[in-house]
Amino acid sequence: MSLESLTFGEFVVLVIVVIEVIIVLVTLFSLIFLRRRAITREERYDQARRELSDAMPDMGGTPEQSVAAMAKARSVVDRLGHEHSRRLLTELAEFVSIENAEPLAELFVATGLVDASIASAKARPWGRLRVVREARALNDPADLLRGLVKDEGADVRISAFEAMCALGRADEALVSLREIARDGRLARMRAVDSLASTEPLPLRQLINLAEHEEADLRLMTVGALGRAGARAAIDTIVGAITDEDVEVRIEALRALKELEDSSALRACLEALKDEFWEVRSVAVGTCAKLGGPGAAADIARMLDDPAEWVRHNASLALGKCGPAGMSALREAAARGNENASSALAEHRLTAEGS
């Protein structure tokens, strides 16, 4: 078949088919090229990771070793380029202690990567989040967290707060606590967890904040003091049992349960008379933890509480009060208290299982 024998319509179809074949071939070769390029890039990245990991021990060695290792590390960073170098140094720093990350932070500054980090701190939220990660891993070489902790973005703000707490700079991070308190329950929980695990704990500042006019802020500080095991703040936490806000009172009872300080028992027993059943429900568990057998009689009275959940938790708490609690449960079960009967059955199953 020759081209002369083709009609105009057949010729057009043939041209279209040829063009489509060419497009498919070009696309296929382009994908192969891009895939090969990506594989090569990752291989170079992995090679750089190995070389930099090998150089890290010597970077903190003798002056001679340190100079040679730093020169080797700089050549690795220069070969990778800024973007991949930032990623590599951050990843390596995340797997070492803050002290051992110092040479990496010096390298980060010496190779000019810190300038890119400073520029990213003014970029879009995802860029600022990346800066927070770098700062946390490398001990904040450009001191950017001080500004990011006051960022207008809630995600950036709480991430910077967590980073500063992880670096032992919680006292500086507290400037954003008021804003974080308004960012929702999840942000508040993250902040409390970060504060509770930070060293050193900004004890005096937290005690002062526990008297703040905003209930959410009092809630966070009381929770942080309790989870941090701050026994020096026991008076502050006990005082929060009578706070005007229900959630603060509940958080104070939970904090005292974690502290296990029996000196707070009297205040916790008073909480059994709280007008809100949510408070009484938490109080029975705290009283059982702090008072043991000595609190059994007070907790047993809660088996007749108007709120079912309080009665249920009281029965469970009595099971943890030793013989006195078990005796109270048996008496209540004999009177037909369903919660007491359930607690006894659970106790028997647990005992048999052990």
Place of tokens 């709480």: 158
pLDDT value of residue 354: 45
pLDDT tens digits in sequence order for the chain, 354 residues long? 566 677 777 778 888 888 999 999 999 999 988 888 888 878 887 888 888 888 887 777 788 888 888 888 888 888 888 888 888 888 888 887 777 788 888 888 888 888 888 888 888 888 999 999 999 999 998 899 999 999 999 999 999 999 999 999 999 999 999 999 999 999 999 999 999 999 999 999 999 999 999 999 999 999 999 999 999 999 999 999 999 999 999 999 999 999 999 999 999 999 999 999 999 999 999 999 999 999 999 999 998 899 989 998 998 899 889 899 888 888 888 888 888 888 887 776 666 554
Cβ-based neighbours of 194, under 8 Å, separated by 6 or more:
161, 162, 165, 166, 170
pLDDT value of residue 284: 96
Nearest residue to 261 via CA among 296, 220, 233, 219: 233
Q: Which two tokens stand for residue 349?
A: 């199953």
pLDDT value of residue 351: 63
pLDDT value of residue 56: 80
Distance, CA of 317 to CA of 258 (rounded, Å):
15
Question: Is the distance from CB of 318 to CB of 300 less than 8 angstroms?
Answer: yes
Cis, peptide link before residue 293, omega less than 30° from 0: no
Amino acid letter for position 119: A
Please give the angle made by the CA atoms of 24, 26 and 32, to the nearest 5 degrees. 100
Structural domains of the chain ordered from first start: 69-143 (no CATH), 148-259 (1.25.10.10), 264-354 (1.25.10.10)
